Amino acid sequence: MNPFDGLVDDPYIEKTCQKEITDRGNFFQFAQCYLFSQALAVFLHVDNFINTFMQATKAKRLREERVTTLEKRLPILRKLYDACISTYPVNSIIPSSADVFLDPFVQNLIITPPLTAPFTDEDLAAVGTTFPDIVFRWRKQTEEKLLHMITRGYGLQNAAESALQLATTVFTCKFCSEPLTYPRVLIHNCATKMFYYHERTGDEDLPSLRRFLQSTYWNHDNIITFDAKEIVPLIEVIELCGLDPKSATAKDMDKHNAIFECLSCNDVRKGRCTLSWLGVVRLY
């Protein structure tokens, strides 16, 4: 084994160690160079270890400070959120409290003030006055997510906004298997329901959101999906109603209120299964 393996690539050391050994003094000089290089290597290793340790310690401290901040300020947001939605009609298209928290404007109000600074309802008063704007931003972003699902499902470059209204555009909840049309899909309960396994998805704020807001961001775990294959039975039932699948909307189908009979199933006493047009999606 070469005793000089692992020398640090330092220009001074390299120059010194390459000098010709002509006498005993040079030998000791070379030995001194080797020992110095080993000491430097140990120092660099320790320095790297200390830097890594300090970075991990800093990240842990910042995380603990954020948890403490959310613990003190999310209940205030929840109180203000409940007051805001109480002024809206039942079944209004409103984001969950977690989605309100995710809004950049709200995030800035909650996270920016130092942890040591007093924080009261007054610090979030602007959320109440700008709540309609927050709702508008959330709805626009969520509609874009739905359009992206449609685009990806059909393999298109982009989907027109009008595609959300079509009767052939039906989303499905993986948790409860319920077929969903727009805009009902925006407020489907499962889309913002807080499941325990959400905590393993990497978002460190989720435990705090579950504890203080009892919800998560819309479709955080991709529970709402769109499958273009479901369009096949929908086209058939839309045509049976005398409508054009390319232009018929979900409202058009609801107005028809047609009841369909399943020819594949039959019971001697109960007869065949009857279902609405959306029920066809669940059947297939």
Could you tell me if 207 and 261 lie in one domain?
no
Could you tell me if 237 and 161 lie in one domain?
no
Question: Domain for residue 220, yes or no?
Answer: yes
Q: How many CB atoms lie within 10 A of CB 63?
A: 11
Could you tell me if 217 and 235 lie in one domain?
no
Question: Domain for residue 204, yes or no?
Answer: yes
Which of 147-151, 190-194, 201-205 shows the lowest mean pLDDT across its residues?
201-205
In tens, the pLDDT along 212-238 reads: 998 899 998 899 999 988 888 889 999
Q: Indicate if the pLDDT at residue 99 is higher than 90.
A: yes
Residue with more model confidence, 62 or 102? 102
Q: What pLDDT sits at residue 21?
A: 47
Q: Indicate if the pLDDT at residue 279 is higher than 60.
A: yes
Question: Domain for residue 27, yes or no?
Answer: no
Grade residue 63 by pLDDT with cuts at 50, 70 and 90: confident
Choose the most confident range, by mean pLDDT, from 30-34, 51-55, 86-90, 159-163: 86-90
Q: Indicate if the pLDDT at residue 280 is higher than 90.
A: no
Question: Domain for residue 137, yes or no?
Answer: yes
Could you tell me if 86 and 126 lie in one domain?
yes
Q: What pLDDT sits at residue 165?
A: 94
The dihedral built from the CA positions of residue 185, 187, 192 and 193, taken in this order, carries a sign that is negative
Q: Indicate if the pLDDT at residue 15 is higher than 60.
A: no
Total count of domains within the chain: 2
Partners of 4 in the beta sheet?
Answer: none
Domain closes at, from 226, 242, 260:
226
Q: Indicate if the pLDDT at residue 243 is higher than 80.
A: yes
In tens, the pLDDT along 174-195 reads: 998 899 999 999 999 999 987 6
Could you tell me if 253 and 202 lie in one domain?
no
Q: What pLDDT sits at residue 8?
A: 47
Could you tell me if 125 and 147 lie in one domain?
yes
Residue ranges making up the domain that contains 142: 65-226
Could you tell me if 85 and 120 lie in one domain?
yes
Could you tell me if 214 and 235 lie in one domain?
no
Could you tell me if 144 and 259 lie in one domain?
no
Grade residue 121 by pLDDT with cuts at 50, 70 and 90: very high
Q: 130, 108 in Cβ contact below 8 A?
A: no
Partners of 172 in the beta sheet?
Answer: 179, 225
Q: What pLDDT sits at residue 1?
A: 45
Could you tell me if 212 and 251 lie in one domain?
no
In tens, the pLDDT along 249-262 reads: 999 999 998 998 88
Query: CA torsion, points 269, 272, 278, 281, in degrees to nearest 10?
Result: 110
Question: Domain for residue 124, yes or no?
Answer: yes
Grade residue 272 by pLDDT with cuts at 50, 70 and 90: confident
Q: Indicate if the pLDDT at residue 23 is higher than 50.
A: no
Choose the most confident range, by mean pLDDT, from 49-53, 99-103, 261-265: 99-103
Domain closes at, from 210, 226, 242:
226
CA–CA dist 37, 33 (Å, integer): 6
Question: Domain for residue 181, yes or no?
Answer: yes
Residue type, 223: I
Could you tell me if 135 and 183 lie in one domain?
yes
Could you tell me if 127 and 195 lie in one domain?
yes
Q: Indicate if the pLDDT at residue 24 is higher than 50.
A: no
Grade residue 4 by pLDDT with cuts at 50, 70 and 90: very low
Q: What pLDDT sits at residue 40?
A: 62
Question: Domain for residue 200, yes or no?
Answer: yes
Residues sharing a CB contact under 8 Å with residue 16, sequence separation 6 or more, in sequence order: 29, 30, 33
Q: What pLDDT sits at residue 238?
A: 93
Average pLDDT of the chain, as a whole number: 82
Q: What pLDDT sits at residue 172?
A: 93
Domain closes at, from 226, 242, 266:
226
Q: Indicate if the pLDDT at residue 198 is higher than 60.
A: no
Residue in this structure with the two tokens 């309802």, named with its chain if needed: 121
Question: Domain for residue 25, yes or no?
Answer: no
Residue with more model confidence, 176 or 1? 176
